[in-house]
Structure 1
Amino acid sequence: MDWDNLRYFLELSRAGKLTAAARHLEVDHTTVARRVQALEKSLGRPLFIRSGSGYQLAESGRRLLAQAEAMESAFLAIEKDEGESIAGGVSGSVRIGATEGYGVELLAGQLAKLSRHHPSLSIDLLAVPRMVRLARHEADIVITLERPERGPYIITKLTDYTLRLYAAPEYLERQPPIRSREDLREHTFVSYIEDLLYSKELHYLDEIGKPKQIALRSTSILAQQKAAIAGAGIAILPSFAARSEERLVEILADEVEFVRTFWMLMPVEGKDLARMRVTWDFLREMAQENQDVMMGR
């Protein structure tokens, strides 16, 4: 069996469409189709159910998927382990997926320290306003808002953090005073686009009641912070990102606070790789050192 054909099978099973799989593999979609057909011919059975909406795994494809993913994991572990140590140091690459706010506001600066200590280690940081998925091999280590219920992962609670209400002084000066939670209902907010929320943990407004108006919605927490600074309205922001911003005022600090948790996970097969252990331990150490910052103290 040709391993290359299995790679095309795996990518199509994850993407569901020839064009999407081809884009990720950086080949033409006809190449993906040809490779999958060759694999089906060699096995003597169809692996996909083809329809106008794309490709869905047939029963034989579902059976093959688990075996192919195990082979892929073993192959990647061997491939990555080749550059694991140079002159006793740690080398190779580690890709970290994190929420946008945490990745940009804290991790980007912290990871510079890791790079100085391990100059042969290469770090990719995916700081994006969506869920980064280990199952799709988008990253080696993922920091997420939700603890996975199952999967071949090592999982740890990284840290709790707080979110609070913030607004620009210019906004507050032209609006009615805010003395209690009830007053918030008459104010304008900046928030997420509800139908594009990537985690149930982001439903903050449900905890304080719907406001009179939401002036601006964005999938980006940093865009929401910028909008609040410009006076668009009140925003619910992570304390670690907003508290040091001089152009924002904290509202009802003793009355309204949201607590959320960051979880960190990596594939089980990564635990024996030096570069993964070093990065994992560093991220935990940084989270512990910054507890006051994370909790808005």
Structure 2
Amino acid sequence: MFDWDDLRIFLAVARTESLSGAGRGLKLDAATVGRRIARLEERLSAKLFMKSPQGYALSEAGDRLLPHAEAAEQAFAGAEEELSGTAGQLTGQLRIGAPDGCANYLLPQVCARICDANPGLEIQIVALPRVVNLSKREADMAIAVSRPTAGRLTVQKISDYHLHLAAHSDYLAKASPVRDKADLRAHRMIGYIPDMIFDKELDYFAETEAQVVGLASNSASVQMHMIQAGAGIGIVHDFAIPFAPGVVRVLPETVRLTRAFWLIRHVDDRRSERLTRLAEALGQGLRNEVARLETLAVAETWSQP
């Protein structure tokens, strides 16, 4: 017979791939976590983890146990919601993973409004230069710039968004004219570090005739700061332009990119009314905020003298 507490420890080790990492989350020392895993393995007569220099990886038996342990986790969470009278209410702590641009320019104000409407709610925003791993419970839900094709996930499109070339007006006033894409060759371009682009949807420069990225970062917000400092021209989210005084769109009719945000949840979380309500509020809030900020960005467009 399974002990939920043992399964809880099993899930923590599976997600962190470390006894010490699991212990930190569970507020237990690593030795205690190790003993509990050993006890569970003895009870099941199966080795659940393979130890390597990289950490604790699930064995074949551990892989088979994982979905059952996650189902038990969801069942306990659902029971707790029902018995506490919080089913469907937006309370407690929730963690959202998101790419840099969304995390910096959209989620702060969207999540603030959701928290204002739900005083018992605490939201954590995890901004990572990669896709958040929901299987390891790095977050309760995630926003991505491309639709995942593998994993036990549910995926919902939130909204399209747009990107344009942009530069600071002071830079454009003293730089070579930019009348078409060919003129970009005379300018320093700002963009992503090529070998650190974690999603093909972030590889923007095929859309231009620029040859070299002279200044680069794996962070969209750092790129925007470079542009605002007058360092060159880059491709930026329209929704970020209102946060950067002096930055204007360049060649908006010539270079215009469309991308999409996707809301990703673990498939087992469909049973949580609370998470479903948060997903609905988050999706609607992001759609409204993208539309509002993109409308403001249209006014910030450079007119070549």
The TM-score range, normalised by the shorter chain, is 0.7 to 0.9
Taking the aligned partners of 2:272 and 2:64, their CA distance within structure 1 comes to: 29
The equivalent residue for 2:223 is 224
Aligned sequence identity (%): 36
SS in 2 for 1:96: strand
The equivalent residue for 1:266 is 265
The equivalent residue for 1:205 is 205
Change (3 A) 1:63 1:282: closer
Taking the aligned partners of 2:168 and 2:112, their CA distance within structure 1 comes to: 31
CA RMSD, Structure 1 to Structure 2 (Å): 2.8
The equivalent residue for 2:282 is 283
The residue type paired with residue 177 of structure 1 is: P
Shift, 1:35, TM fit: 2.2
SS in 2 for 1:119: coil
The equivalent residue for 1:130 is 130
The residue type paired with residue 141 of structure 1 is: M
- Alpha-carbon contact 1:164-1:237 (below 8 Å) kept: yes
- Alpha-carbon contact 1:187-1:213 (below 8 Å) kept: no
How many residues are aligned here? 295
Unaligned runs of 5+ in 1: none
Q: Deviations over 1:26-73 (max 9, x none)?
A: 443333322222221222222222233333322222222222222222
Shift, 1:229, TM fit: 0.7
Q: Deviations over 1:231-289 (max 9, x none)?
A: 22212110001146332121111100111100113334444544333322222333443
Change (3 A) 1:167 1:108: same
The equivalent residue for 2:178 is 178
SS in 1 for 2:106: helix
Change (3 A) 1:45 1:190: same
Taking the aligned partners of 2:13 and 2:239, their CA distance within structure 1 comes to: 40
The equivalent residue for 1:250 is 249
Change (3 A) 1:233 1:32: farther
The equivalent residue for 2:5 is 4
- Alpha-carbon contact 1:164-1:236 (below 8 Å) kept: yes
The equivalent residue for 2:189 is 189
TM-score (norm 1): 0.85
The residue type paired with residue 63 of structure 1 is: R
Greater alpha carbon shift after TM alignment, 285-294 vs 106-115: 285-294
Q: Deviations over 1:142-175 (max 9, x none)?
A: 2211212244443221000011111123333443
SS in 1 for 2:101: helix
SS in 2 for 1:69: helix
Greater alpha carbon shift after TM alignment, 159-168 vs 76-85: 76-85
Spell out the pairing of 1:10-29 with structure 2 (5 A cutoff).
10-29=11-30
The equivalent residue for 1:163 is 163
Taking the aligned partners of 2:82 and 2:130, their CA distance within structure 1 comes to: 29
Spell out the pairing of 1:140-155 with structure 2 (5 A cutoff).
140-155=140-155
The equivalent residue for 2:36 is 35
The residue type paired with residue 277 of structure 1 is: T
- Alpha-carbon contact 2:74-2:269 (below 8 Å) kept: no
- Alpha-carbon contact 1:169-1:249 (below 8 Å) kept: yes
Change (3 A) 1:205 1:90: closer
- Alpha-carbon contact 1:145-1:262 (below 8 Å) kept: yes
The residue type paired with residue 162 of structure 2 is: T
The residue type paired with residue 14 of structure 2 is: S
TM-score (norm 2): 0.83
Change (3 A) 1:91 1:48: closer
Unaligned runs of 5+ in 2: 299-305
Q: Deviations over 1:172-205 (max 9, x none)?
A: 3443222211222332122223333332211112
Greater alpha carbon shift after TM alignment, 53-62 vs 254-263: 53-62
Superposed structure 1 runs of 4+ greater than 6 Å apart: none
SS in 1 for 2:283: helix
